[in-house]
Structure 1
Amino acid sequence: MLSRPHHDGSALYVSTQAPTPGESVRVRVRVPHEADVREVHVRQVTDGEPEFRALHEISRSDSEAWWEGEVVCHNPVTSYRFILEGGPGGYQWLNGTGLHERDLPDAADFRLVTYQAPPEWSLDSVVYQVFPDRFARAAGRPPIADSAPDWALPADWDDAVSTEPDTVARQLYGGDLDGIGEHLDHLERLGVTTLYLTPFFPARSNHRYDAETFDAVDPVLGGGEAFRRLIAEAHRRGLTVLGDLTTNHTGDSHEWFVAAQADSQSPEHDFYLYDESGDYVSWYGVKSLPKLNHDSEGLRERMFDTPQAGVQKWLAGPDGLDGWRVDVANMTGRWQAQDVNHRVARHLRDVVVDTKPDALLVAEHCHDHSQDAMGDGWHGVMNYSGFTKPLWTWLRGKDFAPRFLGSPLRVPRLGGGAVAAMMNEFGAIVPWRSRMHSFTLVGSHDTTRVRTLVGDDAAQVVVAAGLLLTMPGIPMITYGDEIGMEGVWGEDGRRPMPWDESRWDADLFEAYQQLIRARRDLEPLRHGGLRWVHTSDNSLVYLRETEGETVMVHCARAADEVQVPATHLAGVESARVVVGNALQHNGSHVTMSAEGPAVSIWVWSHEG
């Protein structure tokens, strides 16, 4: 695989990650000699019309040549690909999915974007998702049964999670924000850098995606003072904090919706959508979740545009959030003929950045996000399609096949070649910068837990964590995955965090610590490109590269041995082991082996 010409959007191949309008950006292509390439041109699309520029060879070694040319960022999004003279037919295109000997659409072209760059700190993040009701309850706080709201069914911390339709959202364990604050040591011990909280607004459910207001913190969680204490303590420890905002809908007890239902002439009536019969529209027909109308100027002002609006209020000041994850972002502003999704995303981005210039904005998105992640709105998405689902199809247990987020069919079990192809194809549909600022995740509070996904072989969880923490993107860990918590589906996985460490998988916790430490220590794992070395049914091997350093990763789902030529691995003879097994090098070939499911990581330095 290393004998193919290669380009990606990383700094090794693109001269700037934050081009400005009109800027000429230097782009480079790595061309192994066996590819037999004699000419390279870049084809960019300018104002809708393709144009070509020649690349020139700038360096040559015993194994490869580097070619360099220019792409001019004439438009906010500039797509480009390369045409190469040479190879078997003398005619090849190189785009985001690789090398092709035929013409093909522009959908997978590389892209440069001139929109304001995402915050620099985010690429160095490891995110830890917490579901507040189930993480921790502050020491000394009275039992939840003494203060539960009228909608709730109080539960003791060790009670089993109810998954019955009429009780699943009402069961309340009483986790709170001060409880999270008391366990920030756990996040530091694990090594994560960013705390992501699912909603903290008052609501009539344990998940709180049915907000009653965006102006307050749920008293059940401790209220606004507990929120400020938690953010202040997290920041004191060097942790960033993300909140969770629902822009698609509110709860039916939200103050706006109550006013809208009481008076059809009220300003709030226009905040919601209504069907032909005059009934309000709701998310997927769930009547407790009325859908917002983003054509309403009043809604835009109350939700986004004033210092008192929820988006700004909880970001502002030193003890404010460091960004938002946006719930149901892909459906926001879309209903029948209405589609103002991109306008909402751009406006929200402007408001967020104006309020806190280095804030991060990540959108929930569960399928093809090519039209929604060009970089002018969301900084990135939750990359379910390009990471989670491919990983599931490779690592799911042979006797357990979950359904993926509403699919009527269970996910297949596929080999590594298909998994790499899926990752490539979904990675190529958006700019490299959007991919790098998207969450990679093996699961979330909405999905099967990874420990349950893999079946009987717990070592597969380490393989999943290895992929999570070494692939491009911002890794997100759901609370409890690091200790082996289980869950067949989303609500079943929202179990209370067990704080008795005798109930933890200690080896798994140590493996997560080691992999997180590797990511934080090795710049290529955070900022490098991605080049595949080998794929087979049971192994994935790839490089993450920066100008001065290369990291090679071998993830195996079963016992396997991989041998590859050392020709295009310059400097590999000096590789040191970071995680896993030693690398065998005989001068002409490199051999990596796994006795069972395992992850190995090696690093070496080299000249640029």
Structure 2
Amino acid sequence: MSEARSGFVPEWAKGIVWYQIFPERFWRGLEHNDPTLHDQRNAWPHNLDAPYQTHPWNSDWYARQPYEQGNGMNLSDTLQRRRYGGDLQGVLDRLDYLQDLGVEAIYFNPLFEAPSSHKYDGATYHHIDPNFGPDPDGDRALIATETPHDPKTWVWTSADKLFLRLIEELHARGMRLIIDGVFNHMGLNSWVYNDLVEKQRDSAFSDWMKVKKWADETEDGSTQIKTWWGFKELPEIMQNRAGITAGPRQYIFDITRRWMDPLGNGDLSKGVDGWRLDVAFCVKHPFWKKWRKHVRSINPEAYLLAEVIDAPEKQVPYLKGDEFDAVMNYNFAFALSEYFIKDGNDALPSELDTKLRVLREAYPHEVTHVMHNLLGSHDTDRVASRIVNSNLFTMRNWSEYYERAKKVNPDYKTGRPNDTARLIQKLMVVFQMTYIGSPGIYYGDEAGMWGPNDPCNRKPMVWPELKYDVEAVFPNEPGRAAESYGFDHNLHNLHKRLIALRKAYPELAKGEYRTFVTDDAYQVFGFERYLGGEITLVMFNTGPKMYESRHAGYGNAELLFSLNARMLEGGICSMHPGSAVILKKRG
């Protein structure tokens, strides 16, 4: 167990159900604010010459639309160049859907102004992207009047105001939200980068980014600035031994206060409830310690979630109470993939138990309750497609997996998952929704979306009332027959039912955990969640044989949920291969 201060995680975040929204692909609420071709300036694939239009929301993902024919680009770059027009009004329009599903909090991928679809190449941190709001041209005119590093000159654009309205609406529904903070790097449209390139050594921001060579030191007259992992679109913020340097640090502190206390009067109901920090491992610890103090001075109950994809022992320094409350729990996804999907590191029940115990014991106990237990994200293939392609990679081998899970891998199957894959996905969802911690749903997973890693994990959201074109183009399987594509009501209802159970039986959301059974011979795994005197048992049969559960204390159990299982006389639970059951202990 890691030594850390106690009582540092926000109570509201324990066991909460998260939903991750990739704004450009969630829903197009307005049409007149769609990104133009010029708005893509300095974003990959840097093609401002080929024809362009807002892409049809319900079109076949891999099929080139007429405007894309003959653009001279490969398919991957063609997909990256598309814009579908998702915006903040689209999120507002779909809040009833999220509330009906049972979602309790939203994690937004970056919302700040940037030319890419993913927005990790920020032009600024203190404005919502104008194309997410109702008046892009008017907003850009307002922004042009500012001195960008001086908060006294900052204005509130129509996009900013719409975001504040969204915050107010979410809070009115009893829902929380956090936003993505990308403090390690900015983009080529950032005012810092542009001032550096224009004014060179005379720039007031010469110590905001690491300049490797000034223009007069290169043969082609270009300014060479250190970038994240060599991506030229992502120039890095300057750091020293204390982390981010004074100038950008103050800017980050200023925008933090802006979004957490937008009225400047301490009314926290008007601001965001926390932050998710991109590539947190790339920023030195001293900065995060100072920033956490700043955040908590504004809102003592703010939730801070870090992206640190690494072994638990390397995550521990971030989770001692002076930096973050939790990390995106990819190690949870790794363990479940190895057990349910058998993705190269096949795990027996006892091995799954060991892997999860190692995670629980690595962190302070209260951290376990707020860990963001995900199955997929914008940086993974869709969980349904991961199941189909389990022979190609081991998710835990992250660097190799990240590349092999993309469409450009010719062996990757991009088509619709079969019934067997869907069953495995359902079992994983049952586990995710009943295990200790805070489950995180990546938009569309609950609706059955599939696809490889970036960019194919970022298709436009499927909605139940829309009719989608059949998927008839399969770049890696040219002979495959066309397949229907659309909203999966069965999988959606499973998520909705399980979230409702979490709310009806508090031990499933906020209770403690103990392993109940690990039967390697039958491949059966079970655990109990308990709170006070309330106990609920969750069991899985992933083996090839029938399993009859005869466990002491469950003779009068109430069946809360079953998937391919049924109760027999005498409290015996009959579990088919590929089954799950949730039992409430009675008497």
Q: How far 1:254 moved relative to its partner?
A: 1.2
Partner SS state of residue 39, structure 2: coil
In 1, the alpha carbon distance for the partners of 2:508 and 2:489 equals 25
Instruction: Give the Cα separation in 2 of the matches to 1:265 and 1:229.
Output: 41
| Pair 1:584–1:351, CA change in 2 (3 A) | farther
Aligned-partner Cα distance in 2 for 1:112–1:565: 40
Structure 2 residue 437 is matched with structure 1 residue 473: yes
Percent pairwise identity: 28
Identify the residue that residue 13 of structure 2 maps to in structure 1.
122
C-alpha distance in 2 between matches for 1:426 and 1:281: 35
TM-superposition CA deviations, 1:388-416 (whole Å, max 9, x none): 111111222x7xx5xxxxxxxxx433333
Cα pair distance change 1:542/1:314, threshold 3 Å: farther
| Candidates 39, 52, 69, aligned match of 1:149 | 39
Q: Secondary structure at the match of 1:199?
A: coil
CA–CA distance in structure 2, aligned partners of residues 143 and 370 of structure 1 = 43
Q: Hey, what does 1:210 align to over in structure 2?
A: 121
**Which residue pairs with 1:593 in the alignment?**
574
1:377 deviates by: 0.8
Q: Distance in 2 between the 1:284 and 1:145 partners?
A: 27
Q: Please list the CA deviations of residues 467-519 of structure 1 after superposition, one character each: whole Å capped at 9, or x if unmatched.
A: 11111111100111111100122321111012244722211111111111111
2:410 paired with 1:450: no
Higher relative contact order (CA 8 A, sep 6+): 2
- CA 1:171/1:363 → structure 2, altered by over 3 Å: closer, same or farther? same
- 1:191 pairs, out of 91, 102, 115, with 102
The letter of the residue matching 2:497 is Q
Among 297, 304, 307, which residue is 2:246 paired with?
297
Does the 8 A contact of 1:127 with 1:193 survive in 2? yes
Question: Per-residue deviation at 1:532?
Answer: 1.3
Conservation of the 8 A alpha-carbon contact between 1:123 and 1:436: yes
- Distance change in 2, residues 1:146/1:342 (3 Å): closer
Alpha carbons of structure 1 residues 264 and 312: separation in structure 2 relative to 1, 3 Å: farther
What is residue 359 of structure 2 aligned with on the other side?
Answer: 426
Preserved contact between residue 252 and residue 289 of structure 1 (Cα < 8 Å): yes
Structure 1 residue 534 corresponds to structure 2 residue 517: yes
RMSD over aligned Cα atoms: 2.7
- Counterpart position of 2:289: 346
Equivalent residues in 2 for 1:402-413, closer than 5 Å: 411-413=344-346
Query: Distance in 2 between the 1:204 and 1:115 partners?
Result: 42
3-state DSSP of counterpart to 1:534: strand
State the 1:367 CA deviation: 1.4
Distance of 1:307 and 1:331 partners within structure 2? 19
**How much has 1:231 moved relative to structure 2?**
1.3
Task: Report if the CA contact (8 A) 2:261-2:268 is conserved.
Answer: no
- Are 1:253 and 2:189 matched, yes or no? yes
Shift of 1:593: 3.3
- What amino acid is the match of 1:209? Y
Who is 1:34 aligned against?
A: none
Q: Please, which of 164, 167, 174 is the counterpart of residue 238 of structure 1?
A: 174
| Paired AA for residue 176 in structure 1 | D
How has the CA–CA distance of structure 1 residues 310 and 234 changed in structure 2, closer, same or farther, with 3 Å as cutoff?
closer
Alpha-carbon distance in structure 2 between the residues aligned to 1:268 and 1:183: 41
Q: What's the offset of the Cα at 1:260?
A: 2.9
Query: How big is each residue's C-alpha offset from its partner over 1:505-538, in whole Å with a ceiling of 9 and x where there is no partner?
Result: 2111111111111112222222222211222453
Distance 2:360 2:210 in 1: 34
The secondary structure found in structure 2 opposite 1:229 is helix
CA–CA separation in structure 1 for the residues paired with 2:117 and 2:263 = 21
TM-score w.r.t. length of structure 2: 0.74
1:493 aligns with 2:493: no
Instruction: List structure 1 segments (4+ residues) > 6 angstroms apart after TM superposition.
Output: 145-148
1:252 Cα deviation from its structure 2 partner = 2.3
Per the alignment, residue 4 of structure 2 pairs with: 113
Query: What whole-Å deviation, never above 9, does each CA across 1:362-397 have from its counterpart, x for those lacking one?
Result: 111211212322222100000102x0111111222x
How much does 1:131 deviate? 0.4
Distance 1:483 1:373, change over 3 A: same
1:132 equivalent to 2:132? Answer no
Q: Which residue of 2 aligns with 1:54?
A: none
2:578 aligned partner, one-letter code: P
| Number of residue-to-residue matches in the alignment | 469
CA pair 267-565 structure 1, distance change in 2 beyond 3 A: farther
Letter in 2 for 1:436: H
Answering whether residue 531 of structure 2 is matched by residue 546 of structure 1, we say: yes
TM-score (norm 1): 0.71
For residue 235 of structure 2, what is the amino acid of its counterpart?
P
Would the aligned equivalents of 1:124 and 1:520 in 2 still touch at CA under 8 Å? no
Does the 8 Å CA contact 1:247/1:326 hold for their aligned counterparts?
yes
Which has the larger displacement, 122-131 or 596-605? Answer: 596-605
CA contact (8 A) 2:260 2:271 kept: no
Provide the C-alpha distance between the structure 2 equivalents of 1:125 and 1:486, rounded to a whole number of angstroms.
25
Q: Would you say the 8 A contact 1:375–1:434 is kept in 2?
A: no
Contact 2:35 2:131 in 1 (8 A): no
Q: Check conservation: 2:227, 2:235, Cα contact below 8 A.
A: yes
Query: Is 1:560–1:593's contact at 8 Å kept on the other side of the alignment?
Result: no
What does residue 559 of structure 2 align with? 577
Structure with the larger helix share: 2
Give, in whole Å, the separation in 1 of the partners of 2:27 and 2:255.
33
Q: CA deviation at 1:559?
A: 5.1
- Give the drift of 1:244: 0.8
Instruction: Kindly report which structure 2 residues correspond to 1:5-84, keeping only aligned pairs within 5 A, or say none.
Output: none
* Paired amino acid for 2:181: L
Q: Does the 8 Å CA contact 2:292/2:323 hold for their aligned counterparts?
A: yes
Quick check: 1:203–1:210 contact (8 Å CA) kept in 2? yes
1:268 aligns with 2:205: yes
Q: Which has the higher strand share?
A: 1
Counterpart Cα distance in 2 of 1:344 and 1:314: 26
Deviation of residue 203 (structure 1)? 0.5
- CA gap of 1:167–1:146, structure 2 versus 1, over 3 A, is closer
